[in-house]
Amino acid sequence: MKITDVICPFCGCLCDDLTVTIENNRVTGVDNGCALAEAKFMHTGRLNNPIIKDGDRFRETGYDDAIGAAADILKDSERPLLFGWSGTQGEAQCSGVHLCELLGGVIDNTSSICHGPSILAIQEVGHPGCTLGQVKNRADLIIYWGCNPVEGHPRHMSRYTNYADGFFLENAFRERKLIVADVRKTESANLADEFIQIKPGGDYAVFSALRAIIRGKGDILPDYVAGVAKSQLERVAKMCLEAKFGAIFFGLGLTMTKNKYKNIRNAIELTDLLCRHTKFTITPMRGHWNVYGSNEVMTWLTGYPYGVDFSRGIAFYNPGETTAIDILAKKECDAMFVVASDPAAHMPKKCAEHMAEIPVIQIDPHINCTTLLSDVQLPVAVTGIETPGTAYRMDGIPLRTKKVIETVYPNDTEIIDKIYKKVLEVQKK
Amino acid sequence: MIFHMITGRTVKQGEGVEKKLSADYKKETSACRMNPLDMMDLGLNEGNHIKIISDYGEVVMTAVEDKTLTAGMIFIAYGPYCNVITSHDTHGTGMPDYKSTPVRIEETDEDLKTVEELFRGMGGTSL
């Protein structure tokens, strides 16, 4: 059986044109998907039953027992941290916020370690963005800054930018120009008409230099800015000004490096400046498939996109204080509830060491690094493959992911709701 | 010599995110990509084991030649190996220095740890 128009639950592109072949309730083929999509759909390994830490080993248990153990840990916790959320459905994210409010804990999603700084910049100066459909059909200049879509978002170029057809472009492949800015010459940089190689930590200075040139103040610039020749910057500024519709996409090369959110603020202000001459937009390359959704859900339920602290009885937000890395590194939290992410694999060692010292509950279909630091893990259905759910694409478009195979496993929402009820039950006692 | 460590995504690392205890994931995330001239300066050949040391820890990885990197820069795929040496300081933003931690490198004859061994060293549980 072939199922068409399947949405890929891997990266923020949420490609919605996959055809998945199913035989005996197993995915045996994926058409149109990239290598990442294929790995996601074809992977069959999983945790089969809930597990509980017993001494220095794990033992298998039933769902009721594991839910009870999770509720006990959470009710005894004074400052629980609920983290993850980017790899699950919006419905589960809603349940997570309600659970956190009940517990008076802190809820943070993985954007605090990916595009959190982008959100901080957007809160300062706004977001001149657009949908990917607008870029595909209209943009004649694409800029990838601090990102490598060939490796990180393998179909971004073929679906939305340089290798996609455009309704308002006669020959999109030839008409669209590509600029890549990065500290190393990546595979994406090899495809560019213009590659700007910037010294590490120099992005802020290069944005400022481009703004100066566009404002007609290029005379004040030195011959090189962060390793980039002034003549190249003048060429790039000219390309931007001559474009009818320019689209900037940026990645973690801006958020994780020196200057962090100030880099993005400067990039947005460059976009704003270019909009006084032509049409320009800017979009973060969101990584996990529903990390944008976690920002949406938390914002509409709490007023804040990530790092939300309910310990005061109301929602409080202060990145750098209420964000997961800071809370773990300062050993503030006394329990951790992880859903649909793997913080042990992606956080600095000091955070993982604190996870090993406190009780950790994980809701995830797979054995991962966080499993090794967990006290309880409950396996769930894989959202977008075994259970449907709402997800937000990197441009903020909500899409409904499909269920393509049957499963015996409950989904994230069902498990979190049961834990919520159990916590309520034990709290009343 | 101080190197500028940047970490990031690769296709192979992405393919392995649901198989993190596998040999393929270990190989990809424990590869330290370096400029060939830096490797020559340190007397390293492709595949040599190296110890990478920062203010936050030290970890053994494999040296891999990568001509796309400029001298003084190393690239490691996201994963548990680079986390051992990554700064947890977020400078009040919530975001640690994943792309700007300074490190030192020296050759070693120590073996690479498996992912499970890395976490056992931090207090983790065996499967």
Residues in chain A: 429
A124 touches chain B (CB under 8 A): no
Distance CA A140, CA A391 (A): 29
Collect all residues with Cβ–Cβ distance below 8 Å to A258 and sequence separation of at least 6: A200, A201, A204, B100
Distance CA A357, CA A359 (A): 7
Residues of B in contact with A57 (CB under 8 A): 125-126
Q: DSSP 3-state assignment of A107?
A: strand
Q: Which residue has the tokens 């950790």?
A: A360
Give how far A217 is from chain B: nearest CA, Å: 31
| Token code pair at residue A259 | 């200057």
Using H for helix, E for strand and C for coil, what is the string for A261-312? HHHHHHHHHHHHHHCCCCEEEEEECCCECCHHHHHHHHHHHHCCCCCEECCC
User: B105, B121, B83, B120: which is closest to B35 by C-alpha?
Assistant: B105
Chains A, B: CB contacts within 8 A come to 182
Mean of all residue pLDDT scores within chain A: 96
Which pLDDT score is estimated for B126? 84
CB contact under 8 A, A112 and B95: yes
Query: Among residues 5-64 of chain B, which lie with CB inside 8 Å of chain A?
Result: 6-11, 14-21, 56-57
CB contact under 8 A, B96 and A348: yes
Residues of A in contact with B114 (CB under 8 A): none
Give how far B48 is from chain A: nearest CA, Å: 23
Q: DSSP 3-state assignment of A210?
A: helix
Residues of A in contact with B64 (CB under 8 A): none
pLDDT tens-digit profile, chain A (429 residues): 999 999 999 999 999 999 999 999 999 999 999 999 999 999 888 999 999 999 989 999 999 999 999 999 999 999 999 999 999 999 999 999 999 999 999 999 999 999 999 999 999 999 999 999 999 999 999 999 999 999 999 999 999 999 999 999 988 888 999 999 999 999 999 999 999 999 999 999 999 999 999 999 999 999 999 999 999 999 999 999 999 999 999 999 999 998 999 999 999 999 999 999 999 999 999 999 999 999 999 999 999 999 999 999 999 999 999 999 999 999 999 999 999 999 999 999 999 999 999 999 999 999 999 999 999 999 999 999 999 999 999 999 999 999 999 999 999 999 999 999 999 998 877
- In a mutational test of the A interface, the residue from B53, B67, B116, B122 whose CB has the highest number of chain A CBs within 10 Å is B122
- Domain limits, chain A: 46-112+289-428, 116-284
Query: Among residues 83-112 of chain B, which lie with CB inside 8 Å of chain A?
Result: 83-88, 90-100
Distance CA A33, CA A404 (A): 15
Provide CATH code, domain B3-120: 2.40.40.20
Class of the CATH-defined domain A46-112+289-428: alpha beta
Give how far A278 is from chain B: nearest CA, Å: 33
Query: Among residues 267-296 of chain A, which lie with CB inside 8 Å of chain B?
Result: 287
Which pLDDT score is estimated for B90? 95
CB contact under 8 A, B91 and A372: no
Q: Which residue has the tokens 């045996």?
A: A28
Which pLDDT score is estimated for A43? 85
Class of the CATH-defined domain A116-284: alpha beta
Give how far A54 is from chain B: nearest CA, Å: 10
Whether ipTM tops 0.90, in short, is yes
A39: left (phi over 0), alpha (psi -120 to 50) or beta: alpha
Query: Closest residue of A to B91, CA-based?
Result: A320
B65 touches chain A (CB under 8 A): no
- Domain limits, chain B: 3-120
A86 touches chain B (CB under 8 A): no
Which pLDDT score is estimated for A202? 97
H-run or E-run covering B83: helix B80-83
pLDDT tens-digit profile, chain B (127 residues): 899 999 999 999 999 888 999 999 999 999 999 999 999 999 999 999 999 999 999 999 999 999 999 999 999 999 999 999 999 999 999 999 999 999 999 999 999 999 999 999 999 998 8
Which pLDDT score is estimated for B1? 84
Query: Residue A113 corresponds to which amino acid?
Result: I
A185 touches chain B (CB under 8 A): yes
Which pLDDT score is estimated for A428? 79
pLDDT by residue (tens digit) across A108-141? 999 999 999 999 999 999 999 999 999 999 999 9
Which pLDDT score is estimated for B115? 96
Distance CA A330, CA A73 (A): 20
Distance CA B98, CA A254 (A): 11
